[in-house]
Amino acid sequence: VKKIAVLTSGGDSQGMNAAVRAVVRSGLFHGLEVYGVQRGYQGLLNNDIFPMDLRSVGDIIQRGGTVLQSARCKEFYTAEGQEKGADILRARGIDGLVVIGGDGSYNGANKLSKLGINTMGLPGTIDNDISFTDYTIGFDTAVSVVVDAVNKLRDTMSSHERSSIVEVMGRHCGDIALHAGLASGAETILVPEVPFDMDEVADRMKANFAHGKRHSIIIVAEGVGRGEDVAKELMERCPTYEPRVTVLGHIQRGGTPTPFDRNLASRLGDFAVRSLIAGETDKGCGIIKGELVLTDIDKVVNTKKDFDMNTYELAQRLSQ
């Protein structure tokens, strides 16, 4: 490859900018021409493509969001849209594309690769739901945001001996709830991967208050249901502890990325460029057990990552 482009797609995540920076600077270092595509696949179809130089990615490693902006694009689901995208890239002589986003975005990249464009997918999503990597870019920052919020909630919940229900992101993947729950000492973690019984949740809370706890934190991944609904059910079972609900929402997707996310993004961005130069295509770039790993996109799109039951059980054991 001689000319590559980079785009961000789907929901944004902290660290996407660090990944864009790594792709641009690594590409230039290796003598490639590097282009940015504004607003994901929509920008590609609008030919919103511009050259990027070293300075164009200055002062962004510490910023949340994405300077390339993100978008959803209906037209790109169609074969005509995909062909148009490939034609636009070819007309500019761009033969490599790095796509930073989630599962849907790799589906798009996969289609482009079948049309002759070399593609690499980088895991840019807070959900940690991508099976070709142990950690996605943005996940660590999102967990930090949740832990910070729970720290604050604990202070006020202890003063009033109340329980706190914190609804976090994760429609299909409970990793944010799990990791934030373990780190913040949550008593109960409700995730879509593990069935639970609300009577048991209530009994556990009562028992913990009875043996001297002054607060109770329940973390609910949005895939389980709304925090308000969990509160209603708990209120019916043990009204004494008046559950209060906090929905963290998009706050989890913002803010400055943690050093972990910046470093992950930097390593993966550089790896994507080196992989394209080595002639690889249609791959997801991840880190598994500390090693940089390429995985065929065909093998991973629409597959589900295994849930870490050991950590889930540990969190339960430690929060008595």
Question: In the 8-state DSSP scheme, what is residue 258?
Answer: P
Residue selected from 15, 18, 25, 76 as contacting ligand ATP according to rule CB under 6 A? 76
Q: Is 225 in the site for ligand ATP (CB under 6 A)?
A: no
Q: CA angle, 145 as apex, 148 and 68 as ends, to 5°? A: 155
Question: Which residue type sits at 180?
Answer: A
Residue selected from 5, 6, 8, 10 as contacting ligand ATP according to rule CB under 6 A? 10
Question: In the 8-state DSSP scheme, what is residue 278?
Answer: T
CB contact at 8 A, 100 and 16: yes
Residue listed under structure tokens 């986003």: 101
For the bound state, the minimum distance from the C-beta of residue 94 to ligand ATP, rounded and expressed in Å, comes to: 18
For the bound state, the minimum distance from the C-beta of residue 303 to ligand ATP, rounded and expressed in Å, comes to: 13
For the bound state, the minimum distance from the C-beta of residue 124 to ligand ATP, rounded and expressed in Å, comes to: 8
Question: Which residue type sits at 313?
Answer: E
For the bound state, the minimum distance from the C-beta of residue 13 to ligand ATP, rounded and expressed in Å, comes to: 7
Phi, psi of 46 (to 5 degrees): -85, 5
Size of the site for ligand ATP (CB under 6 A): 17
**For the purposes of burial, counting CB atoms within 10 Å of the CB of 122, is it exposed (0-12), middle (13-18) or buried (19 or more)?**
buried
- Which residue's CB is nearer to ligand ATP, number 1 or number 173? 173
Per-residue binder mask for ligand ATP (CB under 6 A), 35-64, x = binder: ------x-----------------------
Binding site feature residues: 11, 21-25, 72-73, 102-105, 125-127, 154, 162, 169-171, 185-187, 213-215, 222, 244, 250-253
Strands 291-296 and 283-288: antiparallel
Q: Is 103 in the site for ligand ATP (CB under 6 A)?
A: yes
CB contact at 8 A, 70 and 8: yes
Q: Which residues bind ligand ATP (CB under 6 A)?
A: 9-11, 41, 72-73, 76-77, 101-105, 107-108, 111, 125
